[in-house]
């Protein structure tokens, strides 16, 4: 897989979505912001539990631990691949997120890229979405090597992606590019693991 080709595709996708981000974000809401408290609580919970330290890392450790308990080399490798999919996706995503400094939709700032000085503040880390990259990277890696777990992870990834837009933490272009980065890195790790058979 050519990482440069993925980055070019991400740039093209971002350029196509940028002019329509605000309108798309408003249209994608299931409910107007703060109209339904239960929906907002659920979206915030998904955002919390869909983060790298609360989802990707524990999931990989549980799978690896299951492999240790079962004395299964295959399950231990699945745990490692799961960890690498989310980790590498998140690291590649952070290379851009922590330098571009795009204001989040809920930051009450004009949309734009504010650059490196602003990028170390959370309200300027919108593009691309780190949550979308990490959960998509894990799901893609698992879909390659353990399809049943991969489908569950993919379903959870979609919920997390929805939640991040529902609470106005990301624009659609942030999500799309983050997910593309995650999927590409997850597939790279999954196929690179060299599994002879799928579980």
Query: Where along the chain do its domains lie?
Result: 35-105+112-192
In percent, the amount of the chain with pLDDT more than 90 equals: 51
Distances (CA, A) of 71 to 57, 63, 68: 21, 12, 5
Count CB-CB contacts under 10 A for residue 18.
15
Instruction: State the pLDDT confidence band at 23, using cuts at 50, 70 and 90.
Output: confident
**pLDDT value at residue 19:** 87
**pLDDT value at residue 20:** 87
Average pLDDT taken over every residue of the chain:
87
Looking at the DSSP assignment, which residues form a beta bridge with residue 113? 102
Task: For residues 43-66, give the mean pLDDT.
Answer: 93
Q: Is the pLDDT of residue 83 over 90?
A: yes
Produce one character per residue of 35-59: b if its CB has 16 or more CB atoms within 10 Å, e if not: eeeebbebbeebbeebbbeebbbeb
**pLDDT value at residue 111:** 86
**pLDDT value at residue 196:** 61
Instruction: State the pLDDT confidence band at 160, using cuts at 50, 70 and 90.
Output: very high
Instruction: State the pLDDT confidence band at 38, using cuts at 50, 70 and 90.
Output: confident
Instruction: State the pLDDT confidence band at 133, using cuts at 50, 70 and 90.
Output: very high
Looking from the CA of 49 toward its CB, the CA atoms found within 13 Å total: 12
Task: For residues 174-191, give the mean pLDDT.
Answer: 92
Task: For residues 86-113, give the mean pLDDT.
Answer: 89
Task: For residues 16-40, give the mean pLDDT.
Answer: 75
**pLDDT value at residue 155:** 96
**pLDDT value at residue 110:** 87
């Amino acid at each position: 897989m050519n990482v440069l080709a993925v980055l070019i595709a991400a740039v093209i996708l971002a350029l196509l979505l940028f002019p329509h981000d605000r309108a798309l974000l408003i249209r994608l809401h299931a409910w107007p912001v703060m109209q339904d408290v239960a929906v907002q609580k659920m979206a915030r919970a998904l955002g919390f539990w869909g983060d790298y330290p609360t989802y990707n890392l524990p999931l990989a450790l549980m799978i690896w631990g299951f492999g240790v308990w079962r004395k299964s080399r295959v399950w231990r490798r699945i745990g490692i691949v799961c960890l690498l999919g989310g980790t590498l996706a998140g690291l590649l995503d952070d290379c851009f997120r922590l330098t571009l400094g795009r204001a989040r939709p809920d930051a009450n700032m004009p949309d734009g890229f504010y650059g490196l000085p602003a990028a170390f503040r959370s309200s300027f880390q919108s593009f691309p979405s780190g949550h979308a990259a990490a959960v998509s990277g894990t799901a893609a890696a698992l879909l390659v090597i353990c399809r049943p777990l991969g489908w569950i992870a993919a379903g959870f990834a979609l919920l997390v992606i929805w939640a991040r837009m529902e609470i106005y933490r990301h624009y659609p272009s942030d999500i799309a590019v983050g997910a593309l980065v995650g999927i590409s890195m997850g597939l790279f790790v999954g196929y690179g693991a060299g599994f002879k058979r799928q579980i």
